[in-house]
Amino acid sequence: MALLRLAVVACLAARARSLSARPSASARTHLLQVLAKEIPVPERFTASREGAARIEAAVAALEGAATDDERPLFPRDLMRIDGTWELKYTNNSPPPPPDWFPVDARRLAGRDVAQRVDVAGRRLVNCVTLAPWPAAGADAVAALPLVGGPLAALARASVRLELDHAFRVDGDGSGAGARRAAGTSRVTIALERVARTLEGVDDAAAPDFAAAVPRTSEVSLPEPVRAAGAALAQGALGGGVFDTTYCDDTLRVARGTSPLLRELRVFVRAPDAAAAADGGDEEDRFAPAPPGVGDPEDAMPSD
């Protein structure tokens, strides 16, 4: 066991030295410093207008300094994005409210936002926790007629949403194009399922209400709705197509292709997944589409 721990530490140290020796190391460090400064409350993952401009400049500098192996091409490099990633920053969310705002808006915004990428199954799940009800003044809220009990029961509760998408990349045989080992860095996603989990309900505050509210639910979108959503997501107003403009073992940058939304997202690999990223086999970096997907006669409809 001691030898195994030493081997893991040595591997992590070697990986850290490798990152620090890259031409992009300075730009990478600068981006992380800017993120820490402009987003002092990590769960907010948004910044002021001025902060967003500084983050955009830091991301652009990192993209410009990236080496070829930090600019993935799919499907060859798909395993680079496999795993769980935590959202560090997005420009597709309202900026944080001013300090004088009377309501704790952090509960209204999403938190614990993560993205699970399953390359083998071609699934991409966006996860977010919400608590869109007042938590302050629970005793006063409980005294309100009709709604007091339910609101008191939900005061410390939260809803976890999982938005499950199918995804495809150019060149993996899932679309109309020819198979290619290294096509583009573009990922196209299509929402297919939404799952909800309610946690933290105070059963004692409103027993009848608590018993009536289901703790979990799941909705699978009908095929016509999936097709319509996929078509919309690929349009100018949609947000279903992303380019991975930078990716190393623990940091990933994705940009939406919509010219109107101009989405930018910065992810860091979840801590448990970061350790696992050091042990992948090189041959796994080329990940074919799931069985049957690459067959032209069985091809998935274009998203």
Distance in angstroms (rounded) separating the CA atoms of residues 189 and 191: 7
CA distances, 176 to each of 181, 229, 241, 299 (Å): 15, 19, 17, 8
Cα-based angle 7, 12, 16 (whole degrees, multiple of 5): 145
CA distances, 10 to each of 15, 17, 68, 245, 250 (Å): 9, 11, 25, 29, 17
Is there a domain that residue 86 lies in?
no
Is there a domain that residue 89 lies in?
no
User: Given this model, what pLDDT does residue 29 score?
Assistant: 97
Nearest to 150 by CA among 106, 195, 204: 204
User: Given this model, what pLDDT does residue 15 score?
Assistant: 54
Is there a domain that residue 16 lies in?
no
The dihedral region occupied by 292, where left means phi > 0, alpha psi between -120 and 50, and beta the remainder, is left
Count the domains in the chain. 1
Q: Rounded to two decimals, what is the model's pTM? A: 0.76
Distance in angstroms (rounded) separating the CA atoms of residues 97 and 94: 8
Span 194-235, pLDDT tens digits: 999 999 998 988 899 899 999 999 999 999 998 888 887 777
- The sign of the torsion formed by the CA atoms of 142, 145, 151, 153 equals positive
Is the previous residue joined to 75 through a cis bond, with omega within 30 degrees of 0?
A: yes
Distance in angstroms (rounded) separating the CA atoms of residues 166 and 192: 7
Is there a domain that residue 51 lies in?
no
Nearest to 192 by CA among 214, 162, 237: 162
Distance in angstroms (rounded) separating the CA atoms of residues 132 and 110: 9
The CB density around residue 109, as the number of other CB atoms within 10 Å, is 19
- The DSSP letter of residue 299 is P
User: Given this model, what pLDDT does residue 261 score?
Assistant: 81
Structure tokens at 226: 């999936």
Q: Domain range spanning residue 288?
A: 66-71+114-260+272-303
Structure tokens at 85: 């990633």
User: Given this model, what pLDDT does residue 149 score?
Assistant: 80
User: Given this model, what pLDDT does residue 289 score?
Assistant: 45
Distance in angstroms (rounded) separating the CA atoms of residues 246 and 226: 29
All residue ranges of the chain with pLDDT < 50 are 4, 8-9, 280-303
25-38 vs 49-65: helix crossing angle, rounded to 10: 170
CA distances, 156 to each of 12, 134, 146 (Å): 39, 9, 19
Structure tokens at 257: 């292709």
Is there a domain that residue 30 lies in?
no
Distance in angstroms (rounded) separating the CA atoms of residues 113 and 233: 20
User: Given this model, what pLDDT does residue 131 score?
Assistant: 80
Is there a domain that residue 46 lies in?
no
User: Given this model, what pLDDT does residue 183 score?
Assistant: 79
User: Given this model, what pLDDT does residue 170 score?
Assistant: 81
Is there a domain that residue 239 lies in?
yes
Distance of CA 35 to the CA centre of its chain: 17
Name the one residue in this structure whose structure tokens are 């998408």. 165
Structure tokens at 235: 């349009």
User: Given this model, what pLDDT does residue 237 score?
Assistant: 67
Structure tokens at 78: 């798909």
Distance in angstroms (rounded) separating the CA atoms of residues 173 and 180: 8
User: Given this model, what pLDDT does residue 301 score?
Assistant: 35
Structure tokens at 83: 């795993």
Is there a domain that residue 12 lies in?
no
